[in-house]
Amino acid sequence: MGKTENEDMLNLKARLGLRHTVNKLAELVFPPRLYCACCGNIIDDTRTYSLCDHCMEHFRWDTGSGINRGGLRLIRCVSYGIYERSLIFDLKYKGKKHVARVIAEIMADKLLSLGLEIDYLVPVPMFKAKEKQRAFNQTKLIADFLSKELTCEVADYLVRTRQTRPMRGLSEEQREENIKGSIVISSDFDGFSKGTKVAVIDDFYTTGSTARECLSALEGSGAEEIIFLAFASR
């Protein structure tokens, strides 16, 4: 690695460290439970999901029991809109990790309302270089919080083998080609026991290309049932 690359890496680590410190200080000064996770309005700590009344009323809640998408059972909590986008954006791009807990609480209530019992949560994987750049994988963070809500385990056994192009702006066919073969199951995975029910966790479902790739990787895993649980979808 050359001098310039070393300097770039050190600068990146410094920026990530500074962002982490700033976020931690902000949480000390402005405790997340006292501010709406979506708009930032002051609330009390009794509010459902740490959301104010206004945001709760404007969230596009999905009350359905799931959608069958080509043999895949998709369960979403909300339909994608301005408020839902804000929550996802704050988690992924502003590093507001407490939002993952809010999303997990919403997901837990969705599953409980449908009477679904889950044994393992499998987060959609992120390519290691991208995860290192962001400093976390938001789906793994959501799964960690959700596992505590449901008292189940996180099975972080899916792996991204390469960096794919950003999906925004790609057609459904381009998305399929872009992600094809990029998600595999870890070599140290021994398989699920008979009767296991698994939920693959993602923040956002668009065309289903990522979901189908995850499902393909989990074929032969031994799970009795696999659902795809997304916080939001269009």
Tell me, what's the pLDDT at 61?
Answer: 97
Decide if 50 is inside a domain. Answer: no
CA gap 19, 17 in Å, rounded: 5
Nearest to 150 by CA among 189, 201, 192: 201
Domain at 120, CATH number: 3.40.50
Decide if 128 is inside a domain. Answer: yes
Decide if 13 is inside a domain. Answer: no
Q: What is the pLDDT of residues 159-182, one digit of tens each?
A: 999 888 777 777 888 888 888 999
Decide if 37 is inside a domain. Answer: no
Any residues with CB less than 8 A from the CB of 90 and at least 6 apart, and which? 37, 38, 96, 99
DSSP state of 48: G
Decide if 19 is inside a domain. Answer: no
Decide if 8 is inside a domain. Answer: no
Tell me, what's the pLDDT at 22?
Answer: 47
- Write the burial class of residue 39 (CB in 10 Å: 0-12 exposed, 13-18 middle, 19+ buried): middle
Total domains in the chain come to 1
Decide if 33 is inside a domain. Answer: no
Question: Tokens 């890496």 label which residue?
Answer: 9
Query: What pTM was estimated for this model as a whole?
Result: 0.84
Owning domain of residue 175: 57-233
Residues of the chain with pLDDT under 70: 1-33
Alpha helices for the chain (secondary structure H): 3-29, 53-58, 82-94, 98-113, 128-134, 138-150, 172-179, 209-217
Tell me, what's the pLDDT at 11?
Answer: 57
Tell me, what's the pLDDT at 186?
Answer: 95
Decide if 125 is inside a domain. Answer: yes
